[in-house]
Amino acid sequence: MEDQLLAFLNFLSNERNYSDNTIAAYRNDLSQFLDWLNVQYPEVLYWADVSYLMVSEYSDILKRKSYTASSVARKVAAIKSFFHFLLARGYITSDPTANLDSPRVKKRLPQTLSSDDVERLLEAPTEKDSPKNLRDSALLHVLYATGMRVTEAVSLRTDDVNLPAMVITFPGKDNRLRELPIDEETRDILVDYLENGRPHLVKDKSESALFLNHRGKQLTRQGLWLIIKAYAEQAQLGDKVTPHTLRHSFAAHRLSSGTELREVQQLLGHANISTTQIYSQLYNEQEKADD
C-alpha cells in the first residue's frame, strides 16, 4: 500500500508539477488515513480492500475531532484524489469514494491591506540603516511589487534580477519562466541592497541567493515569515499580516487600479483564472462597502 501511495506522490510531483508544500500536505493527510486503517482494519492489505463504509467512517471521525471544516475538506479531497488515481492506474476496479460527500466550506475572502497599511509596512525597515534593513526593505518591496509567492521570493538568485529592464525572471510552478515587472522605486531599493547591503551579508562569494540571512545563506521561508511579522508589529498592523498578505494585496490593488483579470492571473502565475477570480469578488465586496 505504501508503494501506491509513493506512486501517487510522484505523480503529483512529476506530472502535475505540484509544489513541495502541497505534496507534503498530501503525504501527511494520506499517511494519517493509512495509519488509521492499519489500526482499525488490520485485515486490509490492499487499497482494493478499502470500502465506502471505511472511508465514510474515517470522514465522520475527522468531523468529530477538533479539525476545522477546511482541514476536514482538504483531507477528504486528498483521499478522493488518491482513489481516483488508483482507479485510473488500474490498482483498483471501483472507487470507494465515488459517493463520498466533501464537507461544505464557506470560501473566505483573502486578507488584504489597504494602500496606506502597505506603505506603513514598506516604510518600517527604513527606520534603521543597516545591511539587514536594506535587505528587508528590498524583500518587502519585491513581494508587493510582483505578487510572487514566498517560496519564489526566497528562491531568487541574483541573476534573476534584470535591473536595467526592471524585471525579475524565474521558473514558475509549471517550470515555465515567469517575467515580472518591477517599478522604479523597487529597482532603486534593490540597487541599494545589492551595492550596500548584500556584500556585508554574504560569506561565500559563490553564494547566488538574492536574499541572505545573517549566516550568509539563502533566507528561509520561516525567516521571511519572522521578518514580516516583526515589521507588521513595528508598523502597528497587528496580527493580520502573513507572508501571503502582500501577494493578496498586490492582486486586489492591481484589479482596483484597472488591471485586467487575465493579466493579474499571469502575474500571479495561476494555472486557472478561477483561482484569480476570488480577487474580483473581494474587489466587488469592497466597492459595495464604499458605496
Give how far the C-alpha of residue 258 lies from the chain's centroid of Cα atoms, to the nearest Å. Answer: 25
128 part of the active site: no
Question: Residues 173, 217, 221, 229: which is the catalytic one?
Answer: 173
107 is catalytic: no
Q: How many CB atoms lie within 10 A of CB 19?
A: 14
List the beta strands (DSSP E) in 190-258: none
| Active-site option among 27, 120, 132, 244 | 244
Q: Is 279 a catalytic residue?
A: yes
Q: Catalytic annotation on 244? A: yes
Residue 171 backbone dihedrals phi, psi, to 5 degrees: -70, 135
Sign (positive or negative) of CA dihedral 152, 154, 159, 163:
positive
Whether 270 is catalytic is: yes
Tell me if residue 184 falls in helix, strand or coil.
Answer: helix
Q: Is 247 in the active site? A: yes
User: Catalytic: which of 247, 248, 253, 254?
Assistant: 247
CA distances from residue 277 to 72, 178, 214, 272 in whole angstroms, order as listed: 24, 20, 39, 9
Catalytic hit among 74, 135, 149, 187: 149
Catalytic residue among 26, 193, 231, 279: 279
Return the exposure string of 206-238: e unless at least 16 CB atoms fall within 10 Å of the residue's CB, then b.
Answer: ebebbbbbeeeebbeeebbeebbeebbeebebe
Eight-class DSSP state of 89? T
> Which are the catalytic amino acids?
149, 173, 244, 247, 270, 279
